[in-house]
Structure 1
Amino acid sequence: MELLSNIPVHHAVPHEFIMPPEKRPENYYELTDPTVTLPVVNLAAGRQHVIDEIIKAGKEFGFFQVVNHGVSDDVVTRFRRAAAEFFALPAEEKLPYYSDDLSKPFRLDTSTTYVDDHCSRRYWRDYLQLQCFPSDRLLQDWPAKPDAFRGSLAAYAVAVQQLGARVLRLIAEGLGLDQSIFLGELIGGGTLMNVNWYPPCPNPSLTMGLVPHCDRPLLTVLSQGDVSGLQAKHRDRWINVHPVPNAFIMTNGLLHSVEHRAVTNSRAARLSVVSVIMPEMDSHIEPLPALVTEEEPPRFRPFLFREFNEAYTAASANREVVLHRFRIHSAH
């Protein structure tokens, strides 16, 4: 299957990328009130203020951007530049990494296929999927070209892992829990990364970079650069997540896991770096006793993360289908 990044300029949208009408971004220009924007949390502010802002944003949006987070511009810029250079490599140099084998620690693929009862369509993207932490055990699996790729990825992966742990401690404190409650086996499944490359699209109204979905890990840390394309669901409508310089976007299922999607554009390529911090597959997931009361009983049954992962894959990341499988249904 031809990589989108192998073609310098796309003059038309091939049929296999044209989404069904009901899955197109038809309401791209019909967003919520433009004054509704994703919260931006300054991690350099007072600790209690930061905690309050994170909990508030988690409950209202499920997404928030963080600035003054301690990850240097240089670390982010060096890896983003190296990743863009990888996609720009000649086709023959990328070919050895091309694979649809999900077990590989590093692989290059194109699209992802959207399938329903009537058709099969492809998303407008190429992507790298890789295991990136702990980096010292994985570095030899990463490509040697471009020259800066391995070193810049190792530095970026460590910095993002540290940022993720910091935010999880703040969330735990905000919920009145021990700061380490979300660490240990809940982040012991390793950190996976998707580096998404969305080339300029000749007709964005026909395509999707990614259809609406929710993330499955404990925490997602996203660098979207300076090109818009990410949209989040807020009160049943879509809002644009406008890029903030040197900001990371955080999503999590601890408070509110929100649907989001990626749209395409005709002006510029977009590169997003998505780091997902995963629980161990045999982690036992259930509502924390400290958060369960007679007034707020458990809404979901206990399960292993492995079971959730299988359900997520089977449902193609459809939020309601996955939640229905684990929700405790009232007898009435």
Structure 2
Amino acid sequence: MEKLLSSARSSHSTVPERFHLPPELRPPALAAAPVSLPVIDLTRGRDEVRSAVLRAGKEFGFFQVINHGVPERALRELEAACVDFFRLPAADKASLYSEDTDRTNRLFSSTMYESGAGESYWRDCLRLACHPVELTKPGWPEKPATLRPALEDFIVPARSVGMELLRLLCEGVGLRPDYFEGDLSGGEVIVNANHYPPCPDPGLTLGLPPHCDRNLITVLLQPGYVCGLQVSYGGGWIDVEPVPGALVVNFGHQLEIATNGLLRSVEHRAVANAAVARTSVAAFIMPTMDCVVAPAKELVGEGSPARYRSIAFRDFMRVYKTVGARRESVEKAFRI
């Protein structure tokens, strides 16, 4: 527990050496020209929304959605409950702390997967399985008392947003609307509550390194008061500016494999902040572990050969934890 950045040490005067990244991994410059992610109003006409989602997905792999159906109250209460969790005394969080990457519900700090790189990152993370609610809720932390109801009020409508976007994407690329229902999206929805304490020298480290998500689609609640998430674009990085009431959406590797590369999982990272703490909440919609993910037959044919090999999601995760989350590492492991 002493490794938690948000433990008894409420402030940091220096960046410990284990967080110092090599110069080539430190935060490089932003994209030359300011670029903003598309913000899509989901209450617009279906044809308009479908076109906007597909266009944004192909260009950025990321977009923001508003008027999505998750109540504003649920967003703010979940953000507040997660902030309160990281403020708890260390003793109240000790039973959750684990560095075992095979443990689903756990609290951990600093590291990514077993890539062998050895870097540490300026982040604490509470990871929980959160769907189906009735099966996963008993494993959620009991403190603070606001956390369980806030998670429950968020996860069901947030998953619905993700599933509706998947249906729109199916329509846009020529798959049947329910293609991603069933095993492809039937795994546990994993929630990461990411906490980034103030950092005395953000130029030395990162909150999260450049990575691609391992899952199907991600729905992210980011705080409305400070930037931190950045997306790879045009050879640089663009800030994901907070939009009141919005959710950030991005594609994971499983969606890229299933669409045979038509929709890509794009690298993103979290930068540290010197002034204020930042807490975000990501919901990862996953396949079942035994689900075999492969390019959809409808998207493979003459002139469009399969670009990825079929693989059980369980085996994908085993390799992903080993090679790391950088795009080139995953492509090398799974491209044909």
- Residues 115, 325 of structure 1: CA spacing in aligned structure 2 closer, same or farther, 3 A cutoff? closer
Q: Tell me the TM-score normalised to structure 2 length.
A: 0.92
In the alignment, the residues of structure 1 paired with residue 187 and residue 11 of structure 2 have an alpha-carbon distance, to the nearest angstrom, of 39
Q: Which amino acid in 2 is paired with 1:152?
A: A
Name 1:32's counterpart in structure 2. 32
The number of residue pairs the alignment matches comes to: 324
Q: Does 1:301 align with 2:303?
A: no
In the alignment, the residues of structure 1 paired with residue 199 and residue 41 of structure 2 have an alpha-carbon distance, to the nearest angstrom, of 34
Q: Structure 1, residues 136-168: CA drift from partner, whole Å, max 9, x if none? A: 111111111111111111111111111111111
In the alignment, the residues of structure 2 paired with residue 9 and residue 192 of structure 1 have an alpha-carbon distance, to the nearest angstrom, of 29
- Deviation of 1:31 after TM superposition, in Å, equals 2.4
Name 2:260's counterpart in structure 1. none
Q: Does 1:157 align with 2:165?
A: no
Q: Structure 1, residues 263-316: CA drift from partner, whole Å, max 9, x if none? A: 001111111101111101221222112112312221122222222222211111
Listed as ranges, the matches of 1:48-197 within 5 Å are 48-112=47-111, 120-197=118-195
Contact 1:312 1:318 in 2 (8 A): no
Q: Structure 1, residues 66-120: CA drift from partner, whole Å, max 9, x if none? A: 1110101101111111110010011111112111233434211111158877x73
Q: Which amino acid in 2 is paired with 1:16?
A: R
Q: Structure 1, residues 124-143: CA drift from partner, whole Å, max 9, x if none? A: 01110110111111111111
Gaps of 5+ in 2: 256-262
- Deviation of 1:247 after TM superposition, in Å, equals 0.8
Q: Tell me the TM-score normalised to structure 1 length.
A: 0.93
Runs of 4 or more, structure 1, over 4 Å off, are 113-117
Contact 1:114 1:122 in 2 (8 A): no
* 1:212 match: secondary structure: strand
Name 2:288's counterpart in structure 1. 280
Name 2:279's counterpart in structure 1. 271
In the alignment, the residues of structure 2 paired with residue 282 and residue 220 of structure 1 have an alpha-carbon distance, to the nearest angstrom, of 20
Name 1:45's counterpart in structure 2. 44
* 1:232 match: secondary structure: strand
* 1:195 match: secondary structure: strand
Gaps of 5+ in 1: none
In the alignment, the residues of structure 2 paired with residue 187 and residue 26 of structure 1 have an alpha-carbon distance, to the nearest angstrom, of 35
In the alignment, the residues of structure 2 paired with residue 318 and residue 105 of structure 1 have an alpha-carbon distance, to the nearest angstrom, of 22
- Residues 285, 105 of structure 1: CA spacing in aligned structure 2 closer, same or farther, 3 A cutoff? closer
Decide which moves more: 170-179 or 204-213: 170-179
* 1:193 match: secondary structure: strand
Listed as ranges, the matches of 1:197-216 within 5 Å are 197-216=195-214
Contact 1:191 1:278 in 2 (8 A): yes
Root-mean-square deviation over aligned CA pairs: 1.6
Report percent identity of matched pairs.
46
In the alignment, the residues of structure 1 paired with residue 101 and residue 329 of structure 2 have an alpha-carbon distance, to the nearest angstrom, of 23
Q: Structure 1, residues 27-47: CA drift from partner, whole Å, max 9, x if none? A: 2xx42311x211111101110
